[in-house]
């Protein structure tokens, strides 16, 4: 039996989904930070492990998600739209830690 997951939509509504109902589109929106996984009551969902920086060869979508995540604890967090507007190289330079420079 699968366990329902809850997602905070872009408009603020909470949606309950069976894991097998999560489409590639939803996974992409979650990865990039447009959607957020939450508990049924809307409180932040705590993953078992913290998110880690993707390697330089990871997809741009992973770097967009990382930039949104990594910037949340700063004075000027980046939105998914702003992160999408940057190139992958820009994202790596701005949000990568200990990434070898070419």
Q: Tell me, what's the pLDDT at 20?
A: 87
Neighbour-count burial of 45, counting CB atoms closer than 10 A to its CB (0-12 exposed, 13-18 middle, 19+ buried)? middle
Residues 77-89 have a mean pLDDT of 95
- Tell me the pLDDT tens digit for each residue of 23-72: 999 989 988 989 999 999 999 888 765 678 999 999 999 999 999 988 98
At residue 83, the pLDDT reads 95
**What's the pLDDT score for residue 102?**
55
Length of the chain: 102
User: Cα separation of 24 and 26, whole Å?
Assistant: 5
Across the chain, mean pLDDT equals: 88
């Amino acid at each position: 039996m699968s366990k329902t997951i809850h997602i905070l939509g872009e408009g603020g509504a909470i949606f309950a989904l069976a894991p097998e109902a999560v489409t590639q589109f939803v996974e992409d929106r979650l990865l990039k930070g447009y959607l957020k996984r939450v508990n049924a009551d809307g409180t932040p969902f705590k993953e078992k492990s913290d998110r880690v920086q993707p390697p330089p060869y990871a997809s741009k979508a992973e770097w967009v998600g990382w930039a949104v995540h990594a910037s949340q604890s700063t004075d000027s967090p980046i939105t998914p739209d702003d992160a999408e507007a940057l190139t992958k190289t820009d994202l790596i330079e701005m949000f990568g830690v200990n990434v070898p420079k070419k």
